[in-house]
Chain A
């Protein structure tokens, strides 16, 4: 079946602008995760949804970052007043249940460049 998809694959924006990144999880997966991967680093956890609710948002770096999953499927990561330091690849993953033992299936990522 179809894997996790993310759109756009690339996004270039100017400092101070607002961006939205979209994630379509694997059908039937109740858990959805966002990670951020900076150059030369491993993925860094941002937020985890169980169904429609954010079960753990401890990784969001500040209040410019916000994510939603209104119907328990597609999720959108929103970044306000972008800064050059926000440039990274944003990864989305989904899993069946959401426990720590679950296998997380990753999408190809959205490369965000803030000029």
Chain B
């Protein structure tokens, strides 16, 4: 069965600093990969997804992620974070079935 590991439960950063949130998944023949963000008291919102093709995926709000098949990773990055990026970030994987398998989440805290 698929599994997702988010390597950092909490990431504190200062405003305008770069950030990387790490995600590893268990190996499979082919997978679809997703990053969702959950702001306080709001539903999950898709940031970006990888289906096929270019391994660098660009999403909303200046986020991007790189699919690395050999390392089974899909790390999320942003070159300069804002206070408003403070939220919970979830990495998720699908092996083609409808069900998404989520990681436990990473809390990104941006301070001034």
Residues of A within 8 A of B (CB): 3-4, 31, 33, 35, 40-45, 48, 50, 55-56, 58-59, 91, 93, 98-109
| Interface size range of chain B in the complex | 20 to 34
Residues of B within 8 A of A102 (CB): 98
**CB-CB contacts of B39-65 with A at 8 A, as 1s and 0s?**
001111110010100000000000000
A90 to B90, CA, bound (A): 16
**A91, B98: Cβ atoms closer than 8 Å:** no
Given known A-B contacts A3-B43, A106-B43, A108-B43, A100 and B96 have beta carbons under 8 A apart = yes
Residues of A within 8 A of B32 (CB): 100-101
**B90, A101: Cβ atoms closer than 8 Å:** no
The 10 closest A-B pairs by CB, nearest first: A42-B102, A100-B94, A45-B99, A106-B44, A106-B43, A100-B96, A48-B98, A108-B43, A43-B102, A101-B51
